Amino acid sequence: MGTEKGPFRRLVKRLTSDVEELDADDLSENVEAVGARKAADCRSGEQVTVCGRVRSVELSPRDAVARLEAELFDGTEGVTLVWLGRRRIPGIEPGRTIKAQGRIAMRDGHKVLYNPYYELQTAT
C-alpha cells in the first residue's frame, strides 16, 4: 500500500504542474544520475561538475576580445560557462545538454565557470 503513494503522487504532480516546473524537476533528477552536483549546492572556489541544458549563448563582437558565454540551467540554478579566446564552439547551443567541470567563481552575484572542461550529452 505504501508503494502506491509515490507513483500516484508523482502522477498528480505531473498533471497539476506547469511545463517549466516539470522540466526543472527532470533536469534536477538528471544531474544526480550523471554524477554531477546541483548548481544551487555549489560554492565559490569549489571544483565541481555540473550538468544541465544550455538556455542561451552569447557571442562576443568581432571588435572585442574573443569570448563565448553560455548559461547552463540544471533545474535548481543557472551557471554561466565562459570560454575566453573562443568565439564559437560546435555543439554549444541553446537546448543542448552538457556536462561541465571547473572551479566555481562569482561574477556580479552569479556563478561562473571559466574555460570549463565540457562534454556534450546525448538527448535522453
pLDDT in tens, 57-110: 998 888 888 999 999 998 888 999 999 999 899 999 999 999 999 999 999 999
Strand partners, 4: none
CB 99 within 8 A of CB 51: yes
Where are the strands (E) in the chain, listed by range? 47-59, 67-73, 78-84, 97-107, 110-114, 117-120
Q: Residue 98 contacts by C-beta under 8 Å, 6 or more apart in sequence?
A: 51, 52, 54, 72, 81, 91, 92, 118, 119, 120, 121
* Average pLDDT value for residue range 105-120: 95
Q: Which of 109, 91, 122, 111 is nearest to 43 (CA)?
A: 111
The CA distance from 4 to 43, in Å, is 37
Domain spans, the chain: 2-120
What pLDDT is recorded for position 102?
97
Question: For a pLDDT cut of 90, what percent of the chain falls above it?
Answer: 50
Q: Quick check: pTM over 0.85?
A: no
Helix (H) / strand (E) containing 1 = none
Q: Under CATH, domain 2-120 is a member of which superfamily?
A: Nucleic acid-binding proteins (2.40.50.140)
In angstroms, the Cα distances linking 50 to 11, 12, 65, 86, 121 are 28, 29, 26, 21, 12
